[in-house]
Amino acid sequence: MSAVKFNVHKKFHLFQSKTRNWEASPEDLLCYRLIFIISGQGQFVLDGTIHSYSKAGLIFLPPDQQPVFQEDRGTEIFIIAFNTHLDYDFQKKKTLDPDFADTYKQAAKLCNNYRLTQGKPLPNDRDGQTITYLINQIAFEITQKPSSHLKLIKGSIDLIVTILARNNFETKKTEEKPTQQMLTERILEYLKTELNQNKTVRIPELLMHFNVSEEVANLFMMNRTGMSLRNFIFKYKADLFKSRLLKVDVAEISPYLQPR
């Protein structure tokens, strides 16, 4: 197929073609871009790193980044490039087109802070199918003449960016959870070690040692043991004293120490 282009002045550019026919213009390199893999699979190089891609995969590009695809006659892509016109005097320009301005900001944030895997489809199958449908709808609308087509295209782009932002946020939460669990276990082991050695635990020193606030430490301990940091220390000291009298392991009388 021949390349298809569609421009909305100072808002966005759309481009559909085979990768072997695609050359990013200097204007497009200044944009935030979302690339959707319509068909094909293979590899591409981005900033010196090799990535694999597949059908329905997505690539997120901030300005000045350019992927280099391997030669593949079967790979077809659809590009949404957001004009950086809104970057300058954003609040003033937002009053002229508030809806698209918010979409632009969300797309820019997504490209600068993506957590999704470059070149791969969304992990959420339902959302991935919706993105595919919307891209196909935009590609169809580009070829139509009714005056309503621009509104439909802009609406579809807004939905695409919203869905991607939601999936990116969910991926970020999934990545952060193991880190929180690891820190919680480190705090727990620190407390047990200190208290088992009959040492005095000073909360400010503990917070400084782990570089967390007391609110965060309380939240972690509450999720792990059902008690705040100070209540845990009080409870564990009481259970430790009881276990020594009974000559049993403290874990046997402290169910809150079991992993959740």
* Torsion, CA 126, CA 131, CA 134, CA 135, rounded to 10: -140
Predicted confidence at residue 111, as pLDDT, reads 92
Structure tokens at 3: 């390349």
CA dist 46 and 54 (Å) reads 16
Question: What residues pair up with 110 in beta bridges, in sequence order?
Answer: none
In DSSP terms, 59 is beta-bridged to 35
Q: What is the CATH number of domain 4-174?
A: 2.60.120.280
Q: What number of helices (H) and strands (E) belong to the chain?
A: 8, 8
Q: Is the pLDDT of residue 176 over 60?
A: no
Average pLDDT over residues 149-176: 82
Name the average pLDDT for the chain. 86
For residues 127 and 114, give the distance between their C-alpha atoms in angstroms, rounded to a whole number.
17
Residues in a beta bridge with 39? 76
> According to CATH, where is 2.60.120.280 located in the chain?
4-174
**C-beta neighbour count of 99 within 10 angstroms:** 11
Q: Side chain identity at 154, as an amino acid letter?
A: K
The reported pLDDT for the residue numbered 142 is 86
What does the pLDDT look like over 127-138, one tens digit per residue?
A: 999 999 999 999
pLDDT (mean) for 17-34:
84
pLDDT of 183 higher than 70: yes
> What share of the chain in percent tops pLDDT 90?
40
Short-list 56, 17, 62, CA closest to 37: 56
Higher-pLDDT residue of 73, 150: 150
Tell me how far apart the terminal alpha carbons of the chain are, to the nearest angstrom.
Answer: 55
- The tokens describing 43, both together, are 């590899």
pLDDT band for position 116 (50/70/90)? Answer: confident
